[in-house]
């Protein structure tokens, strides 16, 4: 397949691109600024600029673009950036695909498991209503921006990504070094559910969804586990203790509104992904932790 990817340099995109290319796919990258080669397409989503002809020959588009909400304090201005970076890119791609008579018929659109808000012990599949938190509202607008493509008959999949277990980024980016030093521990009470998936299984699932007859929201998770269980499994895999908890008030002080993504409980299950026939390589938390700990 010829696949066009936005957000290719992020934590997930930088692993997804080489995997797709190794699998025989022809991958082209949407980049801001001038294209540096035949595998790049220049665009400016803030200005609404994308040459429709540049994507017309593709089979699918994967949009992973968006400002990292955890990289800076979530001030009012930063919140606007987080939302705009998602809605602008998604809206432009969706409108572009809708206007093409014979363009890509698949749009795999990044989304977030924060869609549901913190729901405690409730088991959440893709039919659950969206929550009322800031991040749930971001997802509401983010996913709605794909409406033009859906209305034009494009198969749109909303990739509601959970806690991605991997080295070098994602939710574990700040946590893994602490665990390796033996000073990691549960976050807050540790009883909140984290719906996890390894980075390997995440990119495998995205590749699977390029051709699986699935549309609408998909919880991109393997299973939910309590935060304390996730941290303990990683610590065991690294042969370190996990005895230094981080109090909830400290996380709220440091992370502000983003602390809701760490302290909130989202017991999401991969109902749609399982029904599509996808099988994870790391089906249990112990094997996932071992993979993270010993990945080169």
pLDDT tens string 7-25? 999 999 999 999 999 999 9
| Residue 125 near residue 226 (C-beta atoms within 8 A) | no
- Residue 90: both structure tokens together: 């998604």
Mean pLDDT of 143-149: 98
Q: Dump the DSSP string for 6-46.
A: ESTTSTTHHHHHHHHHHTT-EEEEEEESS--STTEEEEETT
| Residue 154 near residue 175 (C-beta atoms within 8 A) | no
Q: How far is CA 36 from the centre of its chain?
A: 27
- How far apart are alpha carbons 286 and 290 in whole angstroms? 6
Is the model more confident about 202 or about 70? 202
Domains of the chain, first to last: 2-294 (3.40.50.720)
Q: How far is CA 149 from the centre of its chain?
A: 20
Given a cut of 70, is residue 254 above it in pLDDT?
Answer: no
- Residue 65: both structure tokens together: 């673009």
Render pLDDT for 39-68 as a digit per residue (tens, 0 to 9).
999 999 999 999 999 999 999 999 999 998
Given a cut of 90, is residue 259 above it in pLDDT?
Answer: no
pLDDT reported for residue 52: 96
Rounded alpha-carbon distances, angstroms, from residue 6 to 13, 111, 214: 8, 13, 21
- How far apart are alpha carbons 31 and 23 in whole angstroms? 22
Torsion angle, alpha carbons of 118, 233, 172, 145, to 10: -40
Closest CA to 113 of 233, 246, 223: 223
Render pLDDT for 99-113 as a digit per residue (tens, 0 to 9).
999 999 999 999 999
Q: Please report which confidence band the pLDDT of residue 176 belongs to, taking 50, 70 and 90 as the band edges.
A: confident
Q: Please report which confidence band the pLDDT of residue 177 belongs to, taking 50, 70 and 90 as the band edges.
A: confident
* 3-state SS class at 2: strand
Given a cut of 80, is residue 174 above it in pLDDT?
Answer: no
pLDDT reported for residue 113: 96
Is the model more confident about 69 or about 3? 3
Average model confidence (pLDDT) for the chain? 93
- How far apart are alpha carbons 199 and 189 in whole angstroms? 26
pLDDT reported for residue 68: 87
* 3-state SS class at 212: coil
């Amino acid at each position: 397949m010829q696949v066009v990817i936005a957000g290719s340099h992020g934590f997930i995109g930088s692993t997804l691109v080489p995997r797709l290319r190794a699998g025989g796919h022809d991958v082209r990258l949407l980049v801001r600024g001038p294209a540096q080669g035949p595998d790049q397409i220049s665009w400016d989503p803030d200005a609404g600029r994308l040459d429709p002809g540049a994507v017309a020959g593709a089979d699918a588009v994967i949009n992973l673009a968006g400002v990292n909400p955890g990289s800076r304090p979530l001030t009012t201005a930063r919140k606007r950036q987080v939302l705009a970076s998602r809605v602008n890119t998604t809206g432009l791609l969706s409108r572009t695909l809708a206007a093409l008579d014979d363009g890509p018929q698949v749009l795999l659109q990044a989304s977030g498991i924060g869609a549901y808000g913190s729901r405690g012990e409730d088991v959440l599949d893709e039919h659950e209503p969206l929550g009322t938190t800031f991040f749930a509202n971001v997802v509401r607008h983010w996913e709605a921006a794909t409406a033009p493509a859906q209305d034009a008959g494009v198969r749109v999949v909303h990739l509601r990504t959970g806690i991605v277990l991997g080295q070098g980024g994602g939710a574990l980016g700040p946590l893994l070094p602490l665990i390796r030093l033996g000073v990691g521990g549960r976050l807050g009470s540790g009883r909140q559910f984290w719906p996890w998936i390894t980075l390997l299984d995440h990119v495998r699932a995205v590749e699977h969804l390029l051709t699986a007859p699935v549309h609408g929201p998909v919880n991109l998770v393997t299973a939910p586990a309590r935060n304390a269980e996730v941290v303990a499994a990683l610590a065991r895999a690294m042969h370190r203790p996990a005895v230094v908890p981080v109090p909830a008030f400290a996380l709220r002080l440091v992370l502000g509104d983003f602390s809701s993504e760490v302290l909130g409980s989202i017991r999401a299950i991969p109902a749609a992904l399982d029904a599509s026939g996808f099988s994870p390589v790391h089906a249990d938390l112990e094997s996932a932790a071992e993979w993270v700990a010993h990945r080169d």
